[in-house]
Each structure stands twice: as C-alpha cells, then as structure tokens.
Structure 1
C-alpha cells in the first residue's frame, strides 16, 4: 500500500512539474496571441510591457489590416516559406537518409574517418560559414533563388547522424533476402528499408521543416528583393527606424506559427517514436 501511494505521489509530482514547464513555455505564445488582437499597441507598451489587457481593447482589426492592405506581400512571403520548406525538407530527407543508411549498413574503406568527419562537422558554428557560403552561392548566381537558400544546408550532419543511428536498428537480413530475389541496392533502399525508417523520416521531416520555416539569417543574406523574402524575414520589415507596426508583426507572427503546430500534431505519434528509437538504440 505504501509503495502504491509513493508511486502515485511521484506521478502527481511529475505531472505538476511538466504542467508547470508547459505553462511557462506556452506563456509567451499565449501573450502573443492575445496581444495580436489589440489594435492600439500604445496600450500594450505603455510604461513597459503591459500584462493587463481588457476585453474592450481586443478586435480583429490587426488581422484585417494585415490581410487586406498588406495581404499581397504577406501571402507572397507565406508562399516563399511554404515552397522553401517543402523543397528543403524533401531534398534533405532524401539525401540524408540515403547517406546515413549507406554509412551504417555497408562496410567500406575509410568508414570510420567518414563518420568522424560527419561528427566533427556538427561542431562547426553555422555563423562562421556564412561569408564563404555566400561567396559560393553568389559565384553560382543563385542569389534571390530558392536553391540558393536550400543547397548549402541540404545535407545536414545532425540529420545524417540521426539516420545513421536509426539504420543500425534495422536488420540486414532484409537486405540479404532482397538480394536473393534479385533486387538492386537502390531498390532495396526505396522498397524495403525506407518504409522501415518511416518513424525516423517523419521525425526528421518535422524538425527539418520547422528549421526551414523558422530560418531567418540565411534567407536574409541570400534574398535581397522584398518579394523574395520568407515569412520570418518579411514580417521583420514591420519594424523600422521610421515606425514600428507591432500590431501587424504580432498578427503575422501568430499566423506563421499555425502551420508548424498543425504539422506537429498531425505527425506527433511517429515523431515521438522516431526520436526515441533513433536516440536510444544503436
């Protein structure tokens, strides 16, 4: 009986702790959501950031202004973000899964050195690569181009390493059986091993899509035309030395979060399964 009570007390304590952490994490977004309905932002930033917001301050005017007066540009930024996210995620998952699978499932000379190079690349800060990457993209005439944003980070070392770890959990017996049936190596990966890696692919797809959707620095460097901006870069233009349109910034920020939330909840089960298996096995 004592053990049961202790277990229940432990479960309740863990639940309360997780609930508190979730509330702290959601607090800024809830505040952003509420203030996005405030038309007069002077009331929000009066004497600092005001936490008291009354019902009479709320309206849909900010969203109406965003979608009507600036809707054409905002939807162009939204479209750019969607196209870049789909392009980057699909190419990244395709190539990283193939590289990670190949390293784990095949034996070849220099394999350990290759793994060491992948791991060492993860230690290099991305910011130190911005200037040489921009020079390379500029020499290839890919500025203001979707591929200029996608190509430099398409094969990310962390994603390759994750697929390496996950592929180690797969049995090579499937490969041998497929070879006996006359299936080629590419066919083995596409028809047999890739479906077995579905949880890992889903997990990385969500992470890569989120990273691409939220990316700010590299699209800002590559894209110089306003119609080519992504959503994260575009909504920052509402803040300028000549005036700050916080109402449009907050409303645009709320809309920009919705696709990521929907993507996560749609693939939540596979995401958790893939992260657990890829993180603790191998």
Structure 2
C-alpha cells in the first residue's frame, strides 16, 4: 500500500509538472484563435503547421535559433577547456597562493551576477564587444561553479598515478590530456550539459549587451515575439516549443550522465 501511494503521488506530481509543457506543444498545432476559446481545448481539432511556418517565415526565428546554437556551443567548448584546466590545477598542482586563489574563486559565488553587469557592460563597451557574439561568449568562458565541480572530482585522482607519469618524463600538458581527461569523462559530460543549458536559456545578459536583432538569441526573440503578437497565443506557443524542445530533449537523453557526474563530484575529496 505504501509503494502504491508513493508511486501514485509521484505520478500525480509528474503529471502536474508535464501538463503545461504538453498543452504548449498541443496549442502550437492549433489554428489561430483556437487556444483562446473557453474552455481551451486540450488537443487541436484540426492540427496545422501554420504557426511554425509563420514563425520561421515572418518572425525570423531561424536566425535566432542559429545564434543560440552558435553562442551556446562556443560557450560550452571554451568553458569546458578553461574550467577543466583550472579545476585540475587547483586540485593537483602545487603553486603559491593556491588555497587563497581558490577561496577567492568560491567567494564570487555569493556575489549576485546583477551586481557585476554594469561594470562588465562598461568594460565591454570600451573593448568594442557590445552587440557582438564576443560580448555574450567572453563572460561565460569560465565559472566558479564549474571550477569547483571539476576540482572536487579531480581530487579523487590518485597522486601516485600522476607522479609515475612525471617520473617517466611526461610533461604536465601530456599528463592532463592523456591521463587526467579520460578520468574526468563523467564530470565533463555533466559540466557540458549544465553549461549548454545555462547558455541556451540565458536572457538577462544578452538583453543588456546585444542591441541589434542580427545577434539576438532565442530567449530574446521569444520575448520580442510576445510583444509583437500578444494576442496570437498559438504562434507564441510555437515559439516556446522551438526554444524549449531542443534543450529538453538534450537533457532527457543525457540526464543519466548529468546526475552521475553531480553525485560522483559531491563525494570526491
């Protein structure tokens, strides 16, 4: 009876969480005006691709989609490279001020991101990076959370393995690329998913630093769509599906590696 009750509650909670997403998908296939009737229909009486056609033909959602893909991919690759190297260095390399620098990095976690937006914007203005892909990519190239996550996991690598490689004459770059990186695969997958999802869904900083439509990402395009077509619920639902569905499928496909990396990293050291 306890198992039946618990599973029933879990299924009910899952249904409540999934219902808005399923209705969003259903409404995106409804003809214009169908979703605004009372009571709103759960399924389209006559499914149509008209909203998606209008979305990419008139609203320019294809451009926003390519921009988001470019920005999120670039941020993910650069962030992986920098966070992995920095996390490994804090975990296994000995250098002056290592603990102090790591504490300083962790200290940035308690500072709200909004506090740094104004000075960061002024800095990028002087550098000529406003309204460019670089203005969105550069601030996200490394993160305190990513460095901390990699450092906690890398501390579990045996020191004897690294010392043996050094005795054999291997350089630090060779050790990192040939020995350390293969051992960091679970945390690499976790960090890649987390970084890509964060970059894909970021709204505030692109809104500040991007001033032209040619560089705007999907969240900004969806906000503009809501302003211009406030009464066209079906078109907005189609835009929301285009924004949410790619990262939702990515997370569902890789969630096992994401959770495994988080759990492994939490017990290292």
TM superposition score normalised by structure 1: 0.88
Match for residue 186 of structure 1? 173
Alignment of 1:104-115 (within 5 A): 104-115=91-102
1:130-279 alignment to 2 at 5 Å?
A: 130-240=117-227, 243-279=230-266
Question: For the residues of structure 1 that align with 2:43 and 2:179, how far apart are their CA atoms?
Answer: 58
Q: Which residue of 1 aligns with 2:50?
A: 61
Structure 1: state its 5+ residue gaps.
1-8
8 Å CA contact 2:136–2:206 kept in 1: the answer is yes
Q: Residue 216 of structure 1 contacts residue 232 of structure 1 at CA under 8 Å; is this kept in 2?
A: yes
Aligned partners of 1:164 and 1:11: how far apart in 2? 39
- 2:85 maps to 98
Unaligned 5+ segments in structure 2 are none
For the Cα contact (< 8 Å) 2:68–2:200, is it kept in 1? yes
Deviation at 1:106, TM superposition (A): 2.0
CA distance in structure 2 between the aligned counterparts of 1:25 and 1:167, rounded to whole angstroms: 36
Report how far residue 262 of structure 1 moved.
3.0
Contact 2:28 2:237 in 1 (8 A): yes
Farther off after superposition, 170-179 or 59-68: 59-68
Q: Which moved more, 1:174-183 or 1:243-252?
A: 243-252
Tell me whether 1:44 sits opposite 2:40 in the alignment: no
Conserved? CA contact 1:149–1:222, under 8 Å: yes
Question: CA, structure 1 residues 12+164, in 2 after alignment: closer, same or farther (shift >3 Å)?
Answer: farther
Distance 1:252 1:125 in 2: 30
- How far the C-alpha of 1:176 sits from its partner, in A, is 1.1
C-alpha contact 1:200 1:275 (8 A) present in aligned 2? yes
Residues in 2 aligned to 1:200 and 1:10: alpha-carbon distance in whole angstroms: 36
Q: Which runs of 4+ in 1 moved over 6 A?
A: none
Paired residues, number: 269
Q: Distance in 2 between matches of 1:241 and 1:253?
A: 15
SS at match of 2:45: helix
* TM-fit CA distance, 1:12: 4.3
Distance 2:267 2:146 in 1: 15
Q: Distance in 2 between matches of 1:14 and 1:206?
A: 30
Structure 2 CA distance for partners of 1:164 and 1:13, relative to 1, 3 Å: farther
